[in-house]
Structure 1
Amino acid sequence: MPELPEVESLARFLTSRAQGRTVAGVEVGAISALKTFSPAPSDLVGRTVAGVGRHGKWLDLATEGGPHLLWHLSRAGWVRWYDAVPATTLRPGKSPIALRVRLDDGAGFDLTEAGTRKRLAVHVVEDPAQVEMVATLGVEPMSEEFTVERLAALLAGRNQQLKGLLRDQRQIAGIGNAYSDEILHAARMSPFALSRSLDADAVALLHATIREVLAGALEASSGRPAAELKDSKRRGMQVHGRTGETCPVCGDLVREVSFADSSLQYCATCQTGGKPLADRRMSRLLR
C-alpha cells in the first residue's frame, strides 16, 4: 500500500503534469470503486485542474470552482500515467482500471487495482471534509503541528502498542504497515511496546525517527515518475518485506509476525532485546 512518501510524490507528479489543464473526460471502469453519486464524475468535465493534494494517504484532484476527485489506493491500487491516453473507451468490468481521467492535451491517468479484493475508493465531492475518513484524519507527521508534545499526548492518551498507534490514521495520518516497521526498527523499539511505557527521552527519539524516516523516503521518491515509485519504496526498506534477510544494522535475521491479513517485520537484536516475538495467531505476544 502506498503511504505518505509515495502518495506525496504522486501528488507532486500529477500536479506537475495536470495543473492548469482541463478535464476532458472521466470514465468509470469499476462501479464498485465509486462511493458517491452526486456530484457525478461527469461534473468534473470542463473544469480546470487547480492541483493535486494529499490528505494522509488520500489523493485529492481539485478543480477550479468545482468538485474534488478524491481517491484512496488501498492495498493494491495505483496511478498509471499516460502522456497520450488510449483512445479506446473503458468497458466496465473488463480490466483492472477503476477510473480513467482524460485531459485536454491528450494526457491523463488511470486508477488501477490488481487482485480480487477490491478496496480502491473514489469519491467526487464538493469538499474533502465530506469524506468521513478524510475529516477524521489525525496530525500530519511532517507538519509543524506534529511536535514532540503532540506525540507525547497521543502516546499518553491511550495505552496501546506502538505499531498500532503509528498505523492509526485518526492519530497520525499517512503512516502504514511498511513505514511503521521502518520507524520502529530505526528507533530500536518493539512493535508491541506500550505507548505509555515511553519516557521523555524515548518520546523525543520516536518523534525524531518518524521525521527522519519519512523525510528520507520522501527525498528518495521525489521527482520520480509514478511508474518508478513502488520499486523505489521497496529498495529503501531496511526490514519491511525482508523476512529471512540480514538486518543491515546488526546482521541478525529479520523476523516476521503474521496476522490474519497482514504481517510485520522486525529485528529481535535491534528491537526486542534478542527475544523473538510470538506469532499473534498462536500465542500471546511477547513485549
Structure 2
Amino acid sequence: MPELPEVEALRDFLTDHLVGREVARVLPVAISVLKTYDPPLTALEGREVTAVRRYGKFLGIEADGLHLVSHLARAGWLQWRDSLPDGPPRPGKGPLALRTALTTGEGFDLTEAGTQKRLAVYLVRDPDEVPGVARLGPDPLAGDFDEERFTGLLAGERRQLKGALRDQSLLAGVGNAYSDEILHAAKMSPFKITATLTADEVHRLYAALRATLTEAVERSRGVAAGRLKKEKKSGLRVHGRTGEPCPVCGDTIREVSFSDSSLQYCPTCQTGGKPLADRRLSRLLK
C-alpha cells in the first residue's frame, strides 16, 4: 500500500507533469472506482490543473476549483503514460480502474491488482467532502507537528502502539509498513500500550517517526512513479523481511499474522529477546 512517502513522491511527480496542463477527459473503467456523482467527471474536461496535493495517503489533483481525490488502497497504483492509447479503454477484468487524459496526449492510469477492489476516486468541490480526508489527523511531517503536539495526541490513548500509529484519525499517512519501521527505529514493541510510555519513550518515538518518514521521502524524491514501489521495498529494514537478519543486531526478523495483514519486528531490538505470540485471526495482544 502506498503510504505518506510514496504519495508525497507521486505528488511531486504529478506536480511536474500535470500543473498547467489541460484535462481532456477522465474515464472510469472499473464500476467500483468512482464514489461520487455530483459533479460528474465530465466537469473536468477543459479545466487546467492548478495544483497537486497530498492528504495523508490521499492524492488530490486540483483543476480550476474541482478536486479529483484518490486513495490507492492496498493494491492500487498510478502509471504515467507519455502517450495514451487511441480510443477509450474497454471495461474488463484487467487492473485498469480509471484513465485521465490530457489535451497533450499524455496522462495516467490508476490500476488495482487482485480481486478486492478498494481503490477509490472522488470528484468534489472541497477535499473535506471526502469522508476519509475529513477525518484525518495531523500530518506528521507538517512544520507545526512538534513533540508537544505528538505527546498531546497520545495522552489519554490506551491501545497498542502499532494500532495507534496506523490510525488515520490520530495521525495521517502512516500505514502497515512504516509503522513497523518506526517502531523498529524507536526500539519498541508493537504491542506496547500507549498509556505506559514514559516521557523519554515518547521523545524516542517522536524522533523515530519524523526521521523514518523524512528519510523515506528523501529516498523517493525524484523517483519516477513506475519505480516507487521498488524504491520503497529496498529501503525497508524489517517490514516484509521475515526470516532475514536484522540490519542492526543480526537477530532473525519475526512476524505476527492477522486475518488480512501482518507485522514484522526484531525480538532483540524491540521486545527484549522475547518472541511475540502469533495468533492468526486474533486481535492484537497486550
| TM-score bin, normalised by smaller chain | over 0.9
* Change beyond 3 A, Cα 1:285–1:275: farther
Distance 1:7 1:283, change over 3 A: closer
CA apart distance, 1:152:
1.2
Inter-CA distance 124–207: structure 2 relative to 1 (3 Å threshold)? same
Q: Over residues 213-266 of structure 1, what are the superposed CA-to-partner deviations in whole Å (9 max), with x where a residue is unaligned?
A: 001000000001000000000000000000000000000000000000000000
Contact residue 241 and residue 264 of structure 2 kept, 8 A:
yes
Alignment partner of 1:165 is 2:169: no
Report the Cα distance in structure 2 between the residues aligned to 1:102 and 1:55, rounded to whole angstroms: 23
In the alignment, is the contact (CA less than 8 A) between 2:256 and 2:277 conserved in 1? yes
| TM-score, normalised with respect to structure 2 | 0.97
Distance 2:140 2:161 in 1: 15
* 3-state DSSP of counterpart to 1:33: coil
SS in 1 for 2:43: helix
Counterpart contact for 1:4–1:174, Cα < 8 Å: yes
Partner Cα separation in structure 1 for residue 136 and residue 181 of structure 2: 21
Matched with 1:225 is: 224
Q: How does 1:121-270 map to 2 (within 5 A)?
A: 121-270=120-269
Cα distance in 2, alignment partners of residues 242 and 208 from structure 1: 23
Give the 4+ runs in structure 1 shifted more than 4 A.
Answer: 282-287
2:164 is paired with a residue whose SS is: helix
Deviations 1:5-50 (A, max 9, x none): 0000001101100100000111110121100011111111100001
Distance 1:92 1:127 in 2: 29
Question: Residue by residue, what CA displacement relative to the aligned partner does 1:164-205 show, whole Å, maximum 9, x if unpaired?
Answer: 000000000000000000000010000000001111111111
- 2:9 is paired with a residue whose SS is helix
Residues 277, 285 of structure 1: 8 Å contact kept = no
Match of residue 44 from structure 2: 44
- Quick one: structure 1 residues 69 and 283, their matched pair in 2 at CA, closer, same or farther if it must change by over 3 Å? closer
- Determine if the alignment matches structure 1 residue 8 to structure 2 residue 8: yes
Opposite residue 100 of structure 1, the aligned amino acid is R
Question: Residue 125 and residue 284 in structure 1: after superposition, are their counterparts in 2 closer, same or farther (change >3 A)?
Answer: closer
Which residue identity lines up with residue 47 of structure 1 in the other structure? R
Check whether the contact 1:71–1:120 (CA below 8 A) recurs between aligned residues.
yes
Q: Give the letter for the 2:57 counterpart.
A: K
1:80 maps to 79
Structure 1 residues 14 and 270, CA gap change in structure 2 (3 angstroms): same
Report if the CA contact (8 A) 2:259-2:282 is conserved. Answer: no
